[in-house]
Structure 1
Amino acid sequence: MKFELHTTFPSELESEWNALLTESVTHVPFLRFEYLSNWWQTRGGGEWPSYAQLVLITARENEKLSGIAPLFLAEHENRPSLLLLGSIEISDYLGVLVRPGDLPAFTTGLLNFLTTDPQVPSWQTLDLYNILDDSPVIPLLQNEAAQRGWKFTSQSTDHSPAIPLPGNWETYLAGIDKKQRHEIRRKIRRMEEAEAPSRWYVVSDPESLEDEINAFLELMAHDPEKEAFLTEEMVTAMTGTIEAAFKHGYLQLAFLEINGQKAAAYLNFDYLNRIWVYNSGLNREYNAYSPGWVLLGYLLQWANENQRESFDFMRGNEDYKYRFGAIDRFVHRVTLHR
């Protein structure tokens, strides 16, 4: 494999990049070209300084794109570290882009390139966050570290629960706790029988997208923690993410309206026949209607009826996720220290 360093984001690779992703050992929306390009422009919504350096490595074999290690260099925990683009806070799952059959050769070649190419900036630690616990990259990196005499660590950093969907709403309900099943049905029925008119919908009109994005961010800001999170840089990053997902056809931005007012919203990705739950907003003035639960119930019903395979809550172990039937898995932080 022939490896190449890119220090500016390679816009000419967009088609090849996303095509490779469809065959990659890790295929998640956070590794799409448009997502990571937007992330880098804002340095993760201000999570990283503007002087962080892009260290994006591509590998080709017989001119064909075989692998991408989307890395950047920054000072992290008092060490010059190479991290994955998307790290740490706003990208739930990360990794490298490479076909399964090319992974061993790519891993070895990448580490050789990172340590021998004179154009690669000096670094001490390869610090990879948000790697799914079943990633085949983890044991390969452990073996490479042992052969090179490097220190290797892999630690679970967060829960990442998901609901496997049976493809039928009633079958799904029958598979969760009886009390929870009753609560979902009761709250949806109460909403639908209330005097206040209600409706839920998924944004589909490009002409209204800007207004819908602003409405979603306003709902997020009803939560004091999320309001603090929504800095100017983060708003720019999230807006870019939503616009890109809409443009490429995998945005699921859903609202529940009560009396014509937006009461709850979910920002999801409808991608790879699964729903990826990215963020949410809630107007607490409507708490008596349990709008968050009701909208989540509608989305789960839709996902089942439309044969989605999974409803992925991604990072965080909030209790409601398990009450809706989620099964735990974990993301890891993998480090190689030279």
Structure 2
Amino acid sequence: MSKIITQKIYDKSWNEVEKEWNDVFNSFFYNRIFQSPKVKKIWWKYFGKGNQYKILVITYSNNKLISPLRVQGKTCSFIGSTDLFDYEDLIYSNYQDMDLGLEKLVNFISNDLFVEELRLNSIPDNSPTIKKILKYLEQNNWQVDLKKEDVSPRISLPSTFDEYLFSLSKKNRHEIRRKIRKLDKIKNVKEYEFFKYQDIKDNLDDFFRLLRISSDEKKEFMNLSRENFFRDLSLELSLQNQTRLRFLEIGNKRVATSLSFVTKGTKYLYNSGYDPEYRDLSVGVLNHIFAIKNSIYEKNKVFDFMRGDEVYKYRLGGIDETISKLIAHKR
């Protein structure tokens, strides 16, 4: 008996597919925060101009696959961008019988979109998407190039902060304790997180201030469009209790900050900043240490530093997860 496979294409009204997309996103642990319809919709608001979206919902064997695609000229890619989305992927209800959905998806891209290039960026290597989709792309006469894009260090969190410290090398454990002791000698030190909508709205300006003064690179990165995206994203996700806005304060002055999102037991460290005048106290790293400690207290299972191989991530226990990109051209 053949399996019934159906597809629906949404390219006019995002609202028509949002509930179904959200249900599929929430149903499976391996769907990451950047695959949610709320995050994609905010990105589209600020950066979708000049693109056309094609959201494909494929149903097969009582499972669903959602493919949030954008088309710009002759190129097809995920809705999103590597400067703002650390992870991309298809959205699955589960991985069972996924070949059926992937074959249908590739047939749609190959025959109905009239594109010549396919760019799928930032797919985690623990996702089966890339390995599985290659076969169907080659069957449809695509030349495929698969490359490592970046790394995303992550920590598997234990149940206590002491266990976390003892999971580190002796040298790194000693260095963290030394930094904390040095900070403890200073009077009037506070570290805290906001998670309620109004608190986040009222305190985001300090986040952007500290981010911009951290480095010239971050100052250049945080233009008005990205700032507006960050604001909308932080406030929207706070309505689901997923936003964490953290500060480290010394003498009533905020000296370090970070913005994180929490979902499905993972805390994603999205961006951060600190005051260079307090560099000798390692306030940026300490703010991350306190974020890890709070993540353990919240009983999260993973602390995700996200893309980039900065040294401090490894000193704090990060272990690389590779993310890859697939670029295919129609023969």
Normalising to structure 1: TM-score of the pair? 0.90
Q: 2: distance between equivalents of 1:218 and 1:173?
A: 31
Which of 27, 31, 50 aligns to 2:31? It is: 27
Aligned to 1:116: 111
Aligned to 1:13: 17
Q: Does 1:40 align with 2:34?
A: no
Q: Does 1:216 align with 2:214?
A: no
Question: How much has 1:304 moved relative to structure 2?
Answer: 2.3
For the aligned residue pairs, the C-alpha RMSD in angstroms reads 1.9
Question: How much has 1:280 moved relative to structure 2?
Answer: 0.2
Cα pair distance change 1:9/1:314, threshold 3 Å = farther
Q: 2: distance between equivalents of 1:15 and 1:229?
A: 33
Aligned to 2:197: 206
- Of the structure 1 ranges 250-259 and 184-193, higher mean CA displacement relative to structure 2 is found in 184-193
Aligned to 1:88: 82
- Code of the residue aligned with 1:198 in structure 2: it is V
Aligned to 1:70: 68
Indicate if the aligned counterparts of 2:165 and 2:173 stay in contact, CA closer than 8 A.
yes
Runs of 4+ in 1 over 6 A off after TM superposition: none
The count of residues paired between Structure 1 and Structure 2 equals 324
Q: Does 1:298 align with 2:290?
A: yes
- Code of the residue aligned with 1:23 in structure 2: it is S
Q: 1: distance between equivalents of 2:281 and 2:66?
A: 47
Cα pair distance change 1:53/1:132, threshold 3 Å = same
Question: How much has 1:25 moved relative to structure 2?
Answer: 7.5
Q: 1: distance between equivalents of 2:233 and 2:207?
A: 13
Indicate if the aligned counterparts of 2:200 and 2:234 stay in contact, CA closer than 8 A.
no
1:89-117 superposed Cα distances (whole Å, 9 cap, x missing partner): 21011111123124211111111122333
Q: 2: distance between equivalents of 1:136 and 1:276?
A: 21
Q: Does 1:329 align with 2:321?
A: yes
1:146-186 superposed Cα distances (whole Å, 9 cap, x missing partner): 32232122111101111111222111111212121111112
Indicate if the aligned counterparts of 1:152 and 1:335 stay in contact, CA closer than 8 A.
yes
Look up the SS of the partner of 1:328 in the other structure: strand
- Of the structure 1 ranges 151-160 and 50-59, higher mean CA displacement relative to structure 2 is found in 50-59
1:6-26 superposed Cα distances (whole Å, 9 cap, x missing partner): 223522333321210133484
Look up the SS of the partner of 2:168 in the other structure: coil
**Identity across the alignment (%):** 27
Question: How much has 1:237 moved relative to structure 2?
Answer: 1.0
- Code of the residue aligned with 2:24 in structure 1: it is L
1:85-234 mapped onto 2 (5 Å cutoff):
85-98=79-92, 99-117=94-112, 120=113, 122-195=114-187, 197-222=188-213, 223-234=215-226
Indicate if the aligned counterparts of 1:26 and 1:96 stay in contact, CA closer than 8 A.
no
Q: 1: distance between equivalents of 2:265 and 2:164?
A: 17
- Code of the residue aligned with 2:50 in structure 1: it is Y
Indicate if the aligned counterparts of 1:29 and 1:271 stay in contact, CA closer than 8 A.
yes
Q: 2: distance between equivalents of 1:115 and 1:25?
A: 30
Normalising to structure 2: TM-score of the pair? 0.92
Q: 2: distance between equivalents of 1:193 and 1:15?
A: 52
Look up the SS of the partner of 1:160 in the other structure: strand
Cα pair distance change 1:311/1:204, threshold 3 Å = closer
Indicate if the aligned counterparts of 1:20 and 1:65 stay in contact, CA closer than 8 A.
no
Look up the SS of the partner of 1:329 in the other structure: strand
Q: 1: distance between equivalents of 2:86 and 2:236?
A: 17
Indicate if the aligned counterparts of 1:81 and 1:126 stay in contact, CA closer than 8 A.
yes
- Of the structure 1 ranges 250-259 and 205-214, higher mean CA displacement relative to structure 2 is found in 205-214
Aligned to 2:280: 288
Which of 227, 235, 238 aligns to 2:227? It is: 235
- Code of the residue aligned with 2:101 in structure 1: it is F
Q: 2: distance between equivalents of 1:133 and 1:206?
A: 34
Look up the SS of the partner of 1:59 in the other structure: strand
